[in-house]
Amino acid sequence: MATVQWVSRAALIPSVLWDTCFNHVEGRWWYEALEASGLDDQFEFAYAVVERDGQPIGLAPTFIMDVPMELVVPPLIARLMRVIPALRYQRTLFVGSPCSDEGAVGVMPGYSLGDILLPLQDALTRRGHEKKVAMTVWKDFGEAEKPALEALSQARRLFPMVSFPGTTVELAAGGFEGYLKGLKSRHRYRLKKKLKDGLAHGAHEVRVLQQPDEQTLDAVFALFQQTYEKGKTKFERLNIEFFRQIAAKPQSHFILMTDAHSGKLVAFMLCFLVGDKAINKFIGIDYAVGMQSHLYFQLWEQAVKWACGVGATRLESGQTGYSAKREVGHQLVPLDCYCRHRNPLLHRVFGAVAKGINWQNLDPDLRQMAEAE
């Protein structure tokens, strides 16, 4: 019989779980950075370790957050919720991670996800009662986990909800030129034109470095805040300490673009290299110069060149910002949430709302990208 133990810090979890189960996604290094960043006013982290006969067989990172429901429902439903204050925020226990675009639960070899989901869900329910949360949510899981999570939903009365999809680009051989050849002709033409037009507005120097100094991190964070404020979806608020913590990790690579004359940082992209996968995690752009210079597209060019240069076979760019991502050839990666509300009536209400959520009504840019596919 499987049992679940709760652990408060990533460093206290047996290394074999991290090394075996999280070597293809954000692992121990990611969670330790989050824990050390002073985000306690937003998140409460904990880790569910599944054991059988005293041996660890699975791991589920979790966090608790007061969720603004307008972030996860269509605009029409969000407007209706504004007149019912009790529904606007829901204290929620998530399986997954903030800032991570796809949920992950680790399972040791010899076991399947289905072997650990029922004891995990029961442990989540008990923890939810202890922490007085309204909802439990398996956050942003992909197609590979769907059969097991659908079976769990039947057994424990969870309702599914379509989430914002992830985005990815498969990287062909031949570096940036090989990538360009794989684009649709109209996207290739527009990208090459934007890159050419951007260069006409001024030269930029590009560096890719690890562990940037404090002055560089200050400039990076200032650009990140600019981009964050322009974004439509604000699920979490990161701080400068997070960037200090994550910059120290060997998986982190900063692509920095500076004005060739002034030396001022005008754009950055923070990428992770995890196995053969590159992850475009955070960007920041100086919008005073970004539009005319097409900085996003220049930054993307450098990201593809870097990813190809380090041997990555695909480049993932996460959720939201779908309009620009469509132009550079991203494909959508379906993701779903699986939810249970503590209140039976609200469980039925939210479940009914979830049935009406789809890519077409979550986001206008997403609708266009989905229809194009």
User: Which pLDDT tens digits describe the chain residue by residue (373 residues)?
Assistant: 899 999 999 999 999 999 999 989 999 999 999 999 999 999 999 999 999 999 999 999 999 999 876 665 666 566 656 666 556 778 999 999 999 889 999 999 999 999 999 999 999 999 999 999 999 999 999 999 999 999 999 999 999 999 999 999 999 889 999 999 999 999 999 999 999 988 877 778 999 999 999 999 999 999 999 988 876 666 789 999 999 999 999 999 999 999 988 999 999 999 999 999 999 999 999 988 756 678 999 999 999 999 999 999 999 999 988 999 999 999 999 999 999 999 999 899 889 989 999 999 888 889 888 887 6
Judge whether 29 and 14 are in contact, CB under 8 Å: no
How does strand 106-107 pair with strand 55-68? antiparallel
Q: Assign residue 349 a region: left if phi > 0, alpha if psi is -120 to 50, beta otherwise?
A: alpha
What is the CATH number for 197?
3.40.630.30
Residues 71 and 173 in one domain: no
Residues 102 and 73 in one domain: yes
Residues 316 and 216 in one domain: yes
| Phi and psi torsions of 164, nearest 5° | -60, 125
Judge whether 176 and 144 are in contact, CB under 8 Å: no
What stretches of 89-174 show up as alpha helix (H) in DSSP?
Answer: 113-131, 146-156
Q: Cα separation of 250 and 104, whole Å? A: 21
Domain count, the chain: 2
Please give the structure tokens belonging to residue 222: 């200032």
Neighbouring-strand partners of residue 274: 277
Residues 25 and 154 in one domain: yes
Which domain does 238 fall in, by range?
Answer: 167-332
Neighbouring-strand partners of residue 348: none
Residues 42 and 82 in one domain: yes
Q: Cα separation of 220 and 207, whole Å? A: 13
Angle made by CA atoms 314, 230, 100, in degrees to the nearest 5 = 40
Host H or E run for residue 140: strand 135-141
Residues 345 and 313 in one domain: no
